[in-house]
Structure 1
Amino acid sequence: MGFSADSEVLGTSHRGGRVQLWDITRPTMPRRAGALDLDKSAVIAFHPRSRLLAVQTNRRLTVWEIADARKPKWLAERRTPEEVAYTLAFSPDGRTLASGTGKGQLRLWDLTEPARPGLRAERTVSQVELISLSFSPDGRRLVTGNGQGGPRGERAAQVKLWDVTDPGRPVALSTGTAESVMAVAFHPRRPFVASAGGNGKLTWWVVDRGQRLRKVDHDTFENGWGIGERMPSLSFHPDGTTLAGADSAGYLLLRRVGTAESSLYEGSGENRRAAAEPVQAVAYSPDGTMVASGDVRGEVRLWPDRVPAPSVDGTPAHADPGTSVISRDGRFLATSIFDEEYRSTSNVWDVSKASAPRRVLTLPPPWQSGYFLPDRRPAVMVAHKYVAKTKDHVFRLWEFDGSGGSPSGGKDIHFTAGDVVTGVSRDGRLLAIGEQNGRRIELWDVSDVRVPVRRAVIDTPVAPSPGAVWFVGKGALATVDGLDLRFWDVSDPAHPRRAGRVKDGAAIQASAYLHGARLLVTDEIGQEVSLWDLADLDRPRKLSGLPGAPGLYFPVGDGTLMTVLGDGTAQFWDLANARRPERIRTLRFDRPIESVVMSPDGGRAVTGEPYRIWAVRPDRRWQTPSLATLTSAEQVELFPDDRSLMAVVQRDPVLGAGEQTYLLDLDTDRVYEELCRTHPFSVDKAQWESLFPHIEWRSSCG
C-alpha cells in the first residue's frame, strides 16, 4: 500500500494479484480508478517525484505510468527469479528501486530511465526472508530487516545498515539483532531507525555517523507497543513527529516521536484507531494529511492526520476555588503540556472562534499558567514560576485586552516559601499568597495588573492543603488553623483584622461558601453538614444542619445547595431561610457524585464521575435527563452560557496525538457542520459515541 507523490492516488495490493488504484483528490469520497490484474500477489512502490508505480510479483518487475490513474500505462517489465516478493521501496531521488525477497535476496534497480530499468546489484543478505527495507532521507543508506534468523528462527532477527552511495556496489556497514523484525523504517529527518516485529515489540536504533547501528537501550517491557502478536508495517509522518504501526490485534497504532534519544521508548501521545481485522499495512501520505491502514480482509481506511474535533495542545490545570482556566468572557483558555521530564509548557488560546483556536501566549518552563481572575474584564490570568530545589516563587499577571494583540505582563510578585497556596477575592482584585506549613499570608492588591501592590502580611498558620486560604464573601478571608476555621476581616486590605472562628470547622474534610446567601457550609460527624451565618464575621452562628456525606456538598447557584448521600441520592436545598432550609428537589444517581462544577453563568452544571452535563433552568431546577454523559472524559470545563461550548479531555485518547483538549459544541446541528468542515472523512460510530454520546450518530459528510 502507498500514496503517489502528490498524495492524490492511493494504491493497494490484494491477494490474487490485483493492484487497485484509488482517486483520493476528494478524500471524503475515494473513487475506484484503474486496476492491474497480475498473475500473483505483488508489492508496490510509488515514485517519490512523479506519477510512476513499480510493481514486483514473484516473477517480474513492472513499471507503470499513472498520470491518469484510471488508465495505468505499462512502461517496462523485467523478469526475476521465481520467489516471493516481500518489500519494495524507491530511494528519495527516485533513481534507485530496492526489493527484498523470500530467499533473502536484495536487488537494487536503476530507474533513472523508468522505461529501461536496469539491475545494478543482486546479492543474498539473509538466510531467511528479507521482509522490509527503508532508505535514509539522503538516499545514501539503506536499512533492511530479515525476520528471525536461521531456517527455524533459532537465531535473533537482524537489522542491517548498507552504504548504497553506489547502488551497483552496496556495502554492509553494520548489523544489529532483535527478537523479531517484521518492519523497519528510517526516520525522515534524523539518524534514527525503528524496527518492529513479533509480540508488539518496538526497537529503536541510532545510526552513529552514518556508519554503525546502535540499539537504544530500554528497561524490561519498556519496548512493548503493539497489542497483537505481530506488527508487520511501520510508517513515519513526513515531518518525523509521529510513527504509525500496523497491529495484528486490529489497530492502527500512533505514537509521538520524542526529541531526545532517552524519550524514544516513552510512547508520548500513544493512541490507536480501530479496524475490523488485523492490520497488515500502514502508510502516511507524502503531504502528511492522511494515514492509511489496510487489513487482512482487504479493507482500507483513510484517516486524517488530525483529531476529529477542534482541539488545542495540552490540558487545563485545576484552578483554585472561585477561579477558572476559562476567562469570564469565554474567549481565552489556559492549558499545559508536559514533556518527558515532566516540565510543563503553558499556553493561552484565543478560542473566540472555536473551530480555529489561536495561541496568544506561551510560557516556557518553569512558568505555569494558573487561572483567570474572576469578574475581570479584560481577562487577567495569574502565572506561577517555581525553580526546583529552591524556595523561589514568582507570580505574574497577564492582561488580555481581546484586541488580537499580545497580552501585557505586569510586575513580578516574588514570594519565598517551600510550597505556596493562593486565594482570590470574588471581584478578582485581591490575591492572597500563603506559605504552606508556615505562618505567613501576603495580601496583594492586583487591581492594576502592571503594578501589583502588597497591602499587608498576616501572621497565621497555613495548612498544607490547596484550600487552606480562601475568600468567604466581600472583605473576608478564611484560613485553616489546626482543626478550626479562622476568619479575617480584610475589608481594609492594608489593615487585616483577626475575627472569629468555627471550632473544628476543618476537622472532617472540607468546607464551602455560598456567596449569594453569605453562608458557610462545614462537615459534621455522622453524614451531616452545618450551615453558618457569617454576617457578623466576629461571631459565626450555626443556623441548621442538613443530611450529606463528608465533602459531598456543592453550591449550585446563589442560595441553592446540593448535598449528596452515600447511596448517590442528591438533594437540592433552598437556603432563603437558612434556619429552615427547604428541600426543593431530589435526584437519584447510580453512584455518589464526586464533583459539581457550575458554568460561570449558572446555566449548566457538570457532575462527575462519569461526567454528565445538565441544563439548569432560571428557577434553579436541573432538567432531566442530562444533556450528555461523557463516559470517557477525564476532565470537563464549561464555557459561559452565551457560548454553547465545553472543553473536554479524554481519559484514554484514541483519536488524537498527545495531550489534547477538545472544544466541543453542544448544539447538534453545529456539531455536524463543524465536523464536516474540520474532519471531512466522517467520524466512525465508535469514535462518535466517545465524543458525542448525547447526539445520534450519522455520517458528518455525505
Structure 2
Amino acid sequence: MPSTHHADGYVYDAFLSYSHGADAQMAPAVHRALSRLAKPWNRPRALRIFRDQSSLEAGPDLWATIEAKLGASRHLVLLASPQAARSRWVGREIAHWKQHREPGTLLIVLTSGAIHWDHAAGNFDRTRTTALPPELYGWFEAEPLWVDLTWARSEAELVLGHARFRRDVGTLAAALHGVSKDALDSEEARQHARTVGVRRGLTWGMAFFLVASLVFGIMAQVRGDEAERRRKEADGQRRLATVRALLAESQSRLADDPRTAVRLGLTAYSVRPTTETRAALVDVLRRTPYAGTSQGPDDSGMFVRRFSDDAGVLATAEKGKLTLWDVSQPGRRRLLHRLTPPRGDIKDVAFSRDGRTLFVAATKGHALWDIASPGTPRALPALPGAAGLDGGGFGDGDRTLATVRDGKGSSGRMDLWDVAGPDRPRRLGSVTGIYDAAEVRMSPDGRTVVSATGKLMVEEADSGKVTIEHGSGMTAWDTSDPTRPRRMGRDTPWGGALDFSPDGRTLISSNTRTAYVWRIRPAHAPQLLSKLRGHRGVVNAAAFGPDGKAAVTFDGSGGAVRWDLSRPGTPRARGKLLDGELGSGEDVAFTPDGRQIREVDSRGTVASWRMDSEPGPWQRAEAAADPVAVAAVAVSPDGRTAATAGARALMLWDITDPDRPRQLSTLQGFSGLMTDVAFSADGRYLAGGDSASRVILWDASDRRHPRRTATLRTRGPVASLAFSPHSPLLVTSGNEPPLTQGIEGWATLWNVKGGRAVESRSYTLKSFTHAGAVSFSPDGRLLALPGAGSGLFDMRDPGRPRHLKWDPVAVLQQDTAFSVKRRLLAVGESVYRVNGTSLSDPAVTLTDAPERGGRTAFHPEGNLLAEADDRGTAVLWDIGDLQRPHVAGKLPPLDESVDDVAFTPDGRTLLTGGGDGRLRLWDLGPLPAAARDPKRLACEVAGGSLDRTQWLLRAPGLAYQDLCR
C-alpha cells in the first residue's frame, strides 16, 4: 500500500470537486470512507483527501488557495451531478486540472443525473449525459473509470458498514491506492486483524490509567473552560456596559458640550466597532452643529483677537507680538506671518472687508498693512498726524477708515481717513471733544459711524459718596459727508458688541447679558427694534451673516446664540452653541457662504460651527416643478443645472445657489406622461422620455433656449434612459404597450453623435414585468440593464456589446446605480462589488430597504446610498463600511411619494422629486464626511480623543488608547 507521505511531492492523494448544493451530504461520506478504508493501525488515515469545507483555510484570495491545493493533489475525484455540471467553480477546477495533468488522474463518482459513453465517437454522449461539465468532453481517449453512487441518495446512513457502499467506495479507493480491488480487500482484512490484536493488548494494560487520566483531565478541562468562559463573558459584559454608558452620555452631552459628546461616541465605536456604535457616532456627527476646534498658543490675558471679514484669517495681538493665522479649515490653524506691531499696548485690530488691508491701533502708535497675500504682508504708510489710537473700522467699500482716540473725560477724538490709495492716506474730517471714543465701527456704505466706550466717569463727594457723572454708551454719526461728521444721537449703556448688517441698515450692540438690535436711517438717531436675551454671560461680540438675516451673539461664558433677524423687530433664536471648554468670547464671524460661524475665545481657541440648526439632511429650498408630479430628476455634470421630468414637460433649473433655484426654461413636445430625463456626459445634450413611446433629444448648450435635435420613436412606453460617460451612446428601455402580445420588455442603444440619434442595437427582455432604471459604470465599460435574461453588458466595444451572464444578476428587475468612486453596483436592496466586468456575490444586503420605492443614487464619494421611497421619504444608507451598513438619515416624510433622487457632483446637496410636483434641495451637512470615515471626522471635530483622566473616568477597566494619534 502506498504511503500518504508521498515521495512524489504530493500532499493529498485526491482533491474532491463537487457541487455544494447537490452533494453537501454525499461528499463528507465519500471523504470519510476513503480516509478509513484499509487504514493502517499506526496512521491517522489511509488516504489524505482535500475537501474545501473541511480542509480550506481562510485567505484573502480563494481561487489562489484552490489552485495551490489542486497542485498538491495526485488525483481529482469529481462527484458528478447536473448541479456540478453547471457550477462555475467545478468548471474552473477541471479546466485547471486539464491544463496540468493527464486524463488518467481524474476519477468520476456519479451521484445524480446520467453519464453515457459513445464508443463510436470516443467521447461522452452530449445528448444523454447530464452530469458532466462541458470541460470534460473530448478529453478522454477511452471510457474513464467512474463509480455509480446514484443509488446512495436514498440511504439514511452511508458508512463502511454498509456493504454496497463499501464495495463501490473500494473500487474508487483501489484506483487511488494504485492496486487491484482484491489486493485492497486483502490489505483491509490484514490491517483489521492486526489492529484488533494490538488494540486488545494495549487496552487491558492502559485501561486503568486511561480512565483515571480521562476523569482528572476532563475535570481540569471543564474547570478551565468554565473559568475562561466566565472571564470572556465578564469582559464582554463589561465592555458592553461601558459602551452603552458612553453612548448614553454622548447623547445627553450633545446640546451643552458637543466636543465631549463626539469624543464619547468615538470611544464607544473604537472599543466595540459594531453597526450600533458606528450608527451612533455618525448620528452624533450628523446632529451636532459643532465643526471643530483649533487650540491657540496664547495664554489668557488682555490680548486682542480679531477675525477677517470672511473668518478665514485670525489676527492675535499683544504688546510686542502681532500674528496672522489661517483658520479657514475647521479644527486646523496655520501660521501665516509674524508682523512687527506698533509701539505701546495694542488696543484694536481691524480688517478691511475685502481682507486686503489690516489696521492696528496701539497706545503709542498705529500701523497699516497690505495683506492681500497674507504670507508676505507689506507695511503701508502711517496715517499722517495720528499718534496713538484706540480703535478703527473700515467702510464705504474699504475706501474710508474711521479711527478713535480716547482721552480724559470728553476729550476723545474721531477721524475719518481716505485710504482708497493706501500708499497715500489722507484725513477727510474730524470730531473732537467726544466721550465715546474707545471703539468705532463704520457701516459698509460709509454713511454711518458708531463710536462707543465702556468707561465710567465718577465723582467722589467730601462725604465719600460716589456719583456716576458719565456712563458708558455709543454715539451714532452721520458721515454721508465725511468731511463734516454730524452727531445723530447717543444711547447708554454699552458693553462690547458692535456690528453692522451688510446693507448698513441694522446694528447690533450689547450691554451685560443683553444684545440690542437697532434700525439705522440716514440723518436719524438709531431706533431700538428688539432685545436679544438668553445669554449665560456678558455679550462681548456679535456678527451678521452675509444675507443680513442671520446673526450670532457671543458671550463671556464661551456660548453663542444664533438668531433669525429676517424680521429685526421680532427676532427668533435658532439655537445655542455651547462648548464647555471655550473661555470668554472675544470675536465671532461668518464664512462668506453663511454656512459656518467661527468664534475665538480669550485663550485664542477657535471653534467652528455649522449654521444649519437641523441635523442633515435638511431642506434648503423647494420649487414648484409640475402641477401633477415630478417623475425624474437629473443634475448636469457641472452641478449648475437640474432637470425635472414633469407630467408633460421638462424644466431646467439654475441651482448654482442651492437656496434659490431659478427656472431657466420649459421644454414641451411630449404626448404622454414624462418618465425620465438625463444629461449627456459633457452636459451638452438632454434627453427626455415619456409614456407615449417617445424620446426627445435637445442641444442644451444654451440652458435658456435649448434646441430640439431629434425625436425617437421607441417600441413602448419609456421607463428609463441613460447616457454613456465615455461614448456618444444613449440607452432607452421600457415595456411593450399593455395590449400587445408576447414579450413585455425592450431596450435600445442609440448613437447620438452630433445630436442626431441613430439606432444601433435593440434587445428583447424576456419575462420582464417591471422596468427599472438602467445605468452605466463610471468608466463606461459596463451597462446594467434590468430585465430577466438581461443583466450586464460589456460595452468596451460600443458597436458590439457583449452579454455577460452571471447568476447574481441574471434576472435584474430592480433599479440600478453604479458608484462613481467605489467599484460598487446597487441593485434594489443589494450592493455588489464590481471587479472588471464581473460581480461578486452581494457585498451587502440592505435588509430594511423599502420593498417598493423609487430610484437609487450613489453619493459621488460612494459612501452614501440614497433610495427614494413611495411612502413619502428617501432613505440615506451609510455603506462606508460594507460590513456595517445602516440607515444614516431619512428625509422628513411628505404627503406624496418620492420618486427620484440625485446628488450634485460636489456631494453637498441631494435633489428629490415626486408625487407632489415639487423639486426639493436638501443640504447633507456633515453626513457624507461622517459616512466616509466617522473616526477621522470625529478626531477633526473634537480636536482629539479622551485624555487619560477622562478615559479612566468613563471607560474604567479598559486599556487607554489615544484614538486620534
For normalisation by structure 2, the TM-score amounts to 0.33
Which has the larger helix fraction?
2
Which has the larger strand fraction?
1
Larger radius of gyration: 2
For normalisation by structure 1, the TM-score amounts to 0.44
